[in-house]
Amino acid sequence: MLGGQDTDRAWAAPEQVWQDAHVAATLASRAETRTQARILRLLRDEGPLSRAELADRLQVSRTTVAAEVGRLTELELAEDAGPASSRGGRRSTIVDFRADLCFAGIDIGATSLNIAVTDGRLAILARATETIDVRQGPEVVLPKALRAIRDLLAGLNRPHRLVGAGVGVPGPVDFHRGVPVSPPIMPGWDGYPVRDALARELGCPVQLDNDVNVMALGEHHSGVARSAHDFLFVKIGTGIGCGIMVDGHIYRGVHGCAGDIGHMTVEETGPVCACGEKGCLEAMFGGAALARDATIAARAGRSPALLARLQENGVLTAADVGEAAGRGDPCAVRMVRDGGQRVGLTLAGLVSFINPGMIVIGGRVADLGHLLLSEIRGVVYRRSLPLATQNMPIVLSELGPDAGVVGAARMVSEAVYAAE
């Protein structure tokens, strides 16, 4: 469990990790029946409900509701929360999550670690951010995450009991095994049992997925895509990736790597990408490409604003380009517009292919904001099939940096609020 010294000691051998994780998952609280699972999801998505309302919604008898709520109370997941207002007849009782029930959301980025602790409805109770270098590997990064969760829980002014933790990482994941698979920017994480190592330490179920899928889930839970069941979440950060929501579920593809749009070829003669190919979308636009192009432009004397910033800080970032564009620097504006065109043309093709109900743009480069968004919109609306774009909004992420942690908590809540 979350003992202070435990999180700092050497990690156990993988065999021990798998075995202990199995024990932790078996002991943890979770729904036992489909009706219990439906009750928990209703409480999560709609808030406290009376027993009478639960019976109506689920189309089961009040006796069944009473029995299932009784069992959820024994499992320490739900509890009675006072009398409901009268609907005539016998007064019903409000059912809610146990007040101590908590989830953790862990969003591991290349250089930052975002952690949040939520209640049973996945509302954030406390959050923390740390600077990390993901390349230091799981033995350095995961203990930091565990300490942050412990500190957040300890700082809550309420009793707390962790029933699940979700984790997003910036690389491909084998979702069913809970391990990163050949993640390019995370050497040392390949095949590491992240899910089960954390489950063992936290004593609760853990789910692992890549950061983009997790952010898509976050926007679906409480962001701009709340009412969308089929949408694309496009993350433009250092790299570019896409979460695909199909019928309310993340579509991961046959090998779990669906949505890897950063390496779609957009210009066969374009710059060489980190992956070794030429002209990938990510090599043309995204945080790393913007920083590279900004540095070239500054040194070539095409942008006094960027040159000044480069001389000041020694490096340029995508944020510098955004700031220069915001102040009207023509070269920076051109870079953002060209990038929007590239991304837009790629998305236009994907819209014709998958016909989504919405596109959400997130990630740090999305901070470039409406200049970028208007370019993307212009290309997508002009180059996609009219039938596909008729009612399709293209919008910026609503949750911003919280999308990952909320989505991670949402992901594991799906497992806890489900009967196996």
Q: How far is the CB of 282 from a second copy (least distance, A)?
A: 11
Give the one residue of 20, 260, 323, 338 binding a second copy; rule: CB under 8 A.
260
* Residue 340 binding a second copy, by CB under 8 A: no
List the one residue out of 78, 76, 72, 67 whose CA is nearest residue 32.
Answer: 72
Query: Which amino acid, one-letter code, is at 274?
Result: A
Q: How far is the CB of 384 from a second copy (least distance, A)?
A: 8
The answer to whether 339 and 214 are in contact (CB under 8 A) is no
State how far the Cα of 333 lies from the Cα of 364, in Å rounded to an integer: 17
Would you give the binding string for a second copy spanning residues 274-293, x where CB under 8 A is met?
---x----------------
As a residue count, the chain comes to 420
| Segment interacting with a second copy, rule: CB under 8 A, options 26-34, 41-49, 206-214, 384-392 | 384-392
Q: How far is the CB of 101 from a second copy (least distance, A)?
A: 32
* Residue 32 binding a second copy, by CB under 8 A: no
Q: How far is the CB of 279 from a second copy (least distance, A)?
A: 10
* Residue 270 binding a second copy, by CB under 8 A: no
List the one residue out of 19, 401, 21, 13 whose CA is nearest residue 214.
Answer: 401
State how far the Cα of 192 lies from the Cα of 196, in Å rounded to an integer: 9
Give the one residue of 3, 14, 83, 253 binding a second copy; rule: CB under 8 A.
253
**3-class SS at 324?**
helix
* Residue 268 binding a second copy, by CB under 8 A: yes
367 DSSP assignment:
G
Q: How far is the CB of 284 from a second copy (least distance, A)?
A: 13
* Smaller CB separation from a second copy, 67 or 388: 388
List the one residue out of 191, 194, 160, 143 whose CA is nearest residue 7.
Answer: 143
Size of the site for a second copy (CB under 8 A): 41
Would you give the binding string for a second copy spanning residues 158-177, x where CB under 8 A is met?
--------------x-----
**3-class SS at 332?**
helix
State how far the Cα of 328 lies from the Cα of 364, in Å rounded to an integer: 20
- What CA dihedral angle connects 364, 365, 370 and 374, to 10 degrees? -140
Kindly state the tokens that stand for 261.
Answer: 């749009």
Q: How far is the CB of 390 from a second copy (least distance, A)?
A: 7
* Residue 265 binding a second copy, by CB under 8 A: yes
Q: How far is the CB of 256 from a second copy (least distance, A)?
A: 7
| Segment interacting with a second copy, rule: CB under 8 A, options 98-106, 145-153, 160-168, 351-359 | 351-359
Give the one residue of 39, 350, 408, 409 binding a second copy; rule: CB under 8 A.
350
Positive or negative, the CA dihedral 326, 280, 190, 20 is positive
Provide the edge-to-edge strand list for the sheet that holds 93-97: 49-50, 93-97, 78-83
The answer to whether 235 and 407 are in contact (CB under 8 A) is no
* Smaller CB separation from a second copy, 221 or 252: 252
* Residue 349 binding a second copy, by CB under 8 A: yes
Name the residues that contact a second copy, by CB under 8 A. Answer: 172, 181-182, 230, 242, 244, 246, 251-261, 263-265, 268, 277, 345-346, 348-350, 352-357, 383, 385, 387-388, 390-392
